[in-house]
Amino acid sequence: MFSKNELKLAYGLIIYFLFVGVLCYAAFPPKTPHEPIRMKFEVTAGNVIFEHKKHHDVTGYGLSCGDCHHTLAEDEYADAQSCSECHELDEGDEEVPKRADAFHQQCAGCHEAFESGPREKECTACHIR
Ligand code: HEC
Ligand code: HEC
Ligand code: HEC
Ligand code: HEC
């Protein structure tokens, strides 16, 4: 049998470790998916600045990762890849367009659907000099 004092010590330790655990959890929250803030695509026709975080953030346009990283299920967002993993630079077809066509279709297509943001023909709204 344990003595009263031993039990007190044991409970004390349990409470202490719970407390430390909560503190650590608060100080080091679980890893959120790595997410770029802003990216620049270098194109001779004019570089494109893409506000990655703003497109996703709830204080921005509130889009879901999967709206753009279209092959990922919700629990896979942390594994988001470059579009080039699948959309090649200089080869593509109707179904799997090449990289630049994939961008033009996805970026401008969504702006068209939302009726805001640069449309397909508004080249210089994306390609700045
Ligand atoms: C509006 C479209 C859009 C949304 C929404 C979006 N992304 Fe992206 N993301 C992109 C584009 C475009 C790239 C650049 C891909 C490239 O360079 O080929 C990118 C790149 C990335 C990269 C870098 C990949 C690499 O290895 O180069 C990560 C990581 C990433 N996104 C994660 C996320 C996460 C996590 C979310 C949701 C919280 C998210 N993205 C939401 C469009 C988007
Ligand atoms: C893991 C591979 C993979 C990655 C990464 C990927 N795609 Fe795709 N994409 C595909 C495949 C396969 C298709 C054709 C089948 C389909 O529609 O899913 C496709 C089709 C498309 C299409 C044409 C069909 C449609 O949905 O209208 C667009 C546009 C597109 N991708 C844009 C992008 C962009 C932009 C990115 C990066 C943010 C990206 N993709 C990342 C594999 C990928
Ligand atoms: C799934 C939808 C969606 C996709 C995909 C998307 N956008 Fe947007 N974009 C928006 C919305 C919504 C706005 C907000 C327009 C407003 O409120 O004025 C916007 C605004 C913009 C603007 C103007 C304001 C700003 O934030 O700079 C630019 C430039 C832009 N997008 C570039 C891009 C580029 C480049 C891509 C592809 C790499 C892209 N977008 C993909 C939805 C999208
Ligand atoms: C919604 C934003 C957006 C609009 C509008 C847009 N582009 Fe682009 N463009 C991009 C992005 C993003 C890329 C891809 C950059 C990369 O691959 O890194 C690109 C790539 C390109 C490239 C280089 C790809 C290649 O084929 O070698 C050319 C050229 C180009 N765009 C011309 C145009 C022209 C011309 C227009 C108008 C008719 C236009 N773009 C409209 C965003 C846009």
The region, left, alpha or beta by phi > 0 then psi within -120 to 50, assigned to residue 46 is left
**C-alpha 101 – ligand 2 centre gap (Å):** 10
**pTM, full prediction:** 0.88
Contact 69, 53 (CB under 8 A): no
Contact 52, 37 (CB under 8 A): yes
Ligand with smallest separation from the Cα of 43: 4
Q: In this structure, what are the phi and psi dihedrals at residue 112, rounded to the nearest 5 degrees?
A: -60, -50
**Which range, of 18-32, 62-76, 112-126, averages the lowest pLDDT?**
18-32
Residue range 88-108: average pLDDT?
96
Query: Ligand 3, residues 43, 107, 123: which to mutate, most atoms within 8 A of Cβ?
Result: 107
Residue 37, classified by CB atoms within 10 Å of its CB into exposed (0-12), middle (13-18) or buried (19+), is exposed
The region, left, alpha or beta by phi > 0 then psi within -120 to 50, assigned to residue 51 is beta
Atom of ligand 1 at shortest range from CA of 50: 12
Question: What pLDDT is stored for residue 22 in this prediction?
Answer: 59
Question: What pLDDT is stored for residue 41 in this prediction?
Answer: 96
